[in-house]
Structure 1
Amino acid sequence: MASLVRGAPLAAGGSRSPARDPEFSACVQWSHSLTDKILLAIEETHRACIDITTLQFNSSDNAKFGVMAENIGIPSPPVLKVISDSFPLETSFKQMMEGFQMHQALLSSVLPHLKEQGRMTELLADTRDLLIQIRRMWKMVQPEADVQLTPPALELRLPGEYDVQVATHLTLVQLWSFSQDVVRCLRNIAQDDES
């Protein structure tokens, strides 16, 4: 895992969205709202699931867990970029789907090991709902695309409770960072759609 927390430079690019399509605009807005909900839920889930006091959500120490993330088997998410000729809108939607599917697989892997599963189950439901919206937008932009991506097969190495706690912590921190990038991307798409 190269970096647990990174921000994608998502400034306004050229318009690639279906021009002023009300259904597409509504999908972008709904996806933005769902992503905001997920960002709030991530912090609540972290508080509910993490018992080890040294695993703080907003800590500069999180970047130091890269080797442990690799040992556990946590992959890095896809990187979202500015919408451009070399990174078109459909690629952005594909990367969003891959990233959220990967995080769903990670969260599903740690879920059975957690004492408190309610918040994690709700977070998984929200990410599933967001994936449905992203799939719809991708299909509007590229109707001929096969938008049924296969979720990654992940096998986390979780021999003990500490590893479960660290895996849950790192996954939530990474999902938060990825979701922040998605918010920037959706904001960029919304601005392009309005221009």
Structure 2
Amino acid sequence: MDSWTVLALLYYFLFAVLVESVPVSHTPPEFREAAERAKTLVEKILRDLPAAHAAAITTEGLTLDPSPQNPNLQMMVTSLGIPPAPILKPLSERFTKDMCVSRMSVGCLLYQGLLGVLSDRLGGLTNLRADLRDLLTHINKMKEAAQLSAESPEQLQDLASRLTGHYEVQVAVHVTLTQLRSFCHDLIRSLRAIATYRRRAAGAP
């Protein structure tokens, strides 16, 4: 056996050992199925959002179209105490599947709670709230299938007491639906990635 053959065999066996030593987190079929159903429901929410916004918002200037930052609107958001959506990052060793799914759950709970308060002041939001409830069910199934832990949702401030007039209600609905749309776009990206993500050990190539 010549030296080149010996060297090639040595590289082959070293590569096989390295591959076997790198742990991979397998995704259960139940997790992928729940993730796919969740993605379908998020797509439905995104389709329904423009019509819900158009039906609920009558105040001029509050549109879903991209617009420059309005300092007065930002001040209203702060005074109303509407929290931002949880941030969903690309999966990595630092932002794990566990963290991602937990934040999905927290975000759904947040917007379900906000829409619950706003539904008492304005019609047309019940279907979105029901879809969020169903979405949360699928996300909980993802957590169960992958045996992931839960993250505590952010406590809503007393939004109802701050909705003192028509304009405050309009701003709250507009901001909630705008943030929900952005969160749903992040959800779809994360759901597409999370079902097929393979986590390699830290330091692995």
Name the TM-score class by shorter chain. Answer: 0.7 to 0.9
Larger radius of gyration: 2
1:159 maps to what in 2? 164
The residue number in structure 1 matching 2:177 is 172
> Is the contact made by 1:82 and 1:185 (CA closer than 8 Å) also made in structure 2?
yes
Distance 1:62 1:51, change over 3 A: farther
Distance 1:188 1:150, change over 3 A: closer
Cα separation, 2, equivalents of 1:69 and 1:50 = 16
Deviation at 1:32, TM superposition (A): 0.5
Q: TM-score, normalised by structure 1?
A: 0.81
- Which residue of 51, 62, 68 maps to 2:76? 68
Q: 1:151 to 1:78 in 2, by over 3 A?
A: closer
Distance (Å, rounded) in 2 between the aligned partners of 1:44 and 1:141: 35
Q: CA deviation at 1:150?
A: 5.4
- Percent identity, aligned pairs only, is 35
Is 1:79 matched with 2:82? no
Name the structure 2 match of 1:128.
Answer: 133
Aligned residue among 93, 96, 104 for 2:112: 104
Could you tell which deviates more after superposition, 44-53 or 29-38?
44-53
- Classify the secondary structure of the residue corresponding to 2:34: helix
Show structure 1 runs of 4+ deviating over 6 A.
Answer: none
Alignment RMSD: 2.1
- Say if 1:63 and 1:130 are closer, same or farther in 2 by CA, change over 3 A: farther
The counterpart of 1:59, out of the listed 62, 66, 72, is: 66
Contact kept in structure 1, 2:110 and 2:153, CA below 8 Å: no
CA distance in 2, matches of 1:16, 1:89: 13
Equivalent-residue separation in structure 1 for 2:61 and 2:24 (angstroms)? 44
| Aligned counterparts of 1:122 and 1:16: Cα–Cα separation in 2 | 40
Assess, with a 3 A threshold, how the Cα gap between structure 1 residues 17 and 58 changes in structure 2: closer, same or farther.
farther
1:46 and 2:53 correspond: yes
Alpha-carbon distance in 2 for matches of 1:22, 1:137: 10
The two structures have a TM-score, normalised by structure 2, of: 0.77
Q: Give aligned pairs, total.
A: 173
For 2:25 and 2:78, locate their aligned partners in 1 and report how far apart those are by CA, in whole Å: 36
User: What's the offset of the Cα at 1:42?
Assistant: 1.5
**Could you list the runs of 5+ residues in structure 1 that have no partner in the other structure?**
1-14
Gaps of 5+ in 2: 1-22, 199-205
2: distance between equivalents of 1:63 and 1:129? 34
- Please state how far the C-alpha of 1:151 moved relative to its aligned partner: 6.7
Question: How far is the alpha carbon of 1:26 from its aligned partner?
Answer: 1.2
Cα drift, residue 17 of structure 1: 6.0
* Mapped contact 1:83–1:92 kept (Cα < 8 A): yes
Could you tell me which residue of structure 1 aligns to residue 99 of structure 2? 91
Distance 1:61 1:155, change over 3 A: farther
Conserved in 2, the CA contact under 8 Å of 1:79 and 1:95?
A: yes
